[in-house]
Amino acid sequence: MLDRRRFLKGAGGATAGLAFLNNWTWSQESYGLTAKIIDVQVSGGVTIVAENGTKGRFTGSGKQDLETLKSHLLRIRELLIGKNPLDRKLSGEMLWEAIYPGKAKLYAEGRDPLTGKLIVNKPRDDRHTKTGRVFMAFSTVDIALWDLRGKLLNQPAYRIMGDARRTKVPVYWRPGEADKGLDDARRRAREAYDRGYVYQKWYFTKSAKDGDSGLKENIELVRVLREELPDAHLMFDNHSIRYYADVDYSVRLCKAVAPYKPFWIEEPICPEHLDGYARIKDESGVTIAGGEHWYTRWQVKPFLERKCVDYVQSDPIWCGGISEWLKICQLVRQYSGVKVVPHITSPWLAAPHCVASQPEELCPLLEFNYEGGRKALDGSMSRSSDGDVVMTMSDAPGIS
């Protein structure tokens, strides 16, 4: 790791050191550091080693296409080896633009970057697209770079990603489906609320294929939870409709639950259905969250332009990496009232750093996946002075 005294001395003292940290004016000449080894293993993710032996690692998503990434490993090594890993220009975007120049921008036109096919307003066959899995693999290289940077500077990644440097972030509780009946859901919601989880997100389990009875089941879940917790911030994820393009159904559902004042309705229609998002927003007026299944900022931009999303949920592990997620934040700042609350996924480590790096007015909440992330994150949860649950950020260097 870099010697702290050498770093501060070279930057002109502690104050200048922080300015250097936040403005990214480090230079290869100042520190004599370069990337030496780049390795990609399908089972182990990406490892980047600096010449002093410091290692940055990230395994990434189990859904990513590391095989395709490995096929480009020679080019990736050409682009990274011998370069200063502290150089912020080194990013997932730099790599995919070198390998697929100009392709990512096709997302803004509603086309798949690698096939050129029209995807806007069409449902998906699977949770992630084949092209999306490639961008997810580039995310892993980018996050490994951030892990390396934090370790070289002996800083947790969130302190060098942005100026907010928050040590505690509010969380919302994601218990999953109400799969044991409404009475059980009511009990679980109350118990969680009493523990300080005033923000809760529940899943709708029925979609258009389930007809009117399924629609009523979804609405009844909202009614029961709202009656039980009149002061809670209740979110509802329409993940059951991920593969469907039935806008009429989604409009009916959102209009029906609007009187119960949901904090947001998440992914009200399949991810690329721009016209559907716009119509649902216009006709129901509900607060809409979406974006965990959007790749790169180019896929986010059309939804912001149509003013049909209130919370952007881009996942740094899926969207192109931390660097791309930060560019999404820069984009969102241009649209008044829109906020960023990243989706969190295994290995659970990147999203907390993202939220803690940004001001609360832009990134107010962190998702706490109580189903899968509890083992990794539960020990960091505590109640604030207001009684709400917050996550305390680690001081460990890199992504942890």
Domains of the chain: 4-155 (3.30.390.10), 161-392 (3.20.20.120)
Selection from 184, 169, 24 nearest residue 89 by Cα = 24
Selection from 305, 289, 285 nearest residue 342 by Cα = 289
Instruction: Using CB atoms within 10 Å of the CB of residue 108, give its burial: 0 to 12 exposed, 13 to 18 middle, 19+ buried.
Output: middle
| Strand blocks (E) in the chain | 35-41, 45-50, 55-58, 168-177, 199-203, 233-237, 264-266, 288-290, 311-312, 339-340, 366-369, 381-383, 389-392
Q: Average the pLDDT over 289-306 and give the result.
A: 98
In tens, the pLDDT along 314-358 reads 999 999 999 999 999 999 999 999 999 999 999 999 999 999 999
In tens, the pLDDT along 217-255 reads 999 999 999 999 999 999 999 986 777 889 999 999 999
- Report residue 28 as tokens: 């290869």
Selection from 40, 86, 127, 57 nearest residue 349 by Cα = 57
Local confidence band at 37 (pLDDT 50, 70, 90 cut-offs): confident
| Residue 240 confidence (pLDDT) | 61
Local confidence band at 3 (pLDDT 50, 70, 90 cut-offs): very low
Tell me 163's DSSP state.
S
pLDDT of 305 strictly over 70: yes
> Do the beta carbons of residue 181 and residue 188 sit within 8 Å?
no
d(CA 117, CA 258): 35
pLDDT of 126 strictly over 80: yes
pLDDT averaged over every residue in the chain: 90
d(CA 362, CA 333): 8
Structure pTM? 0.92
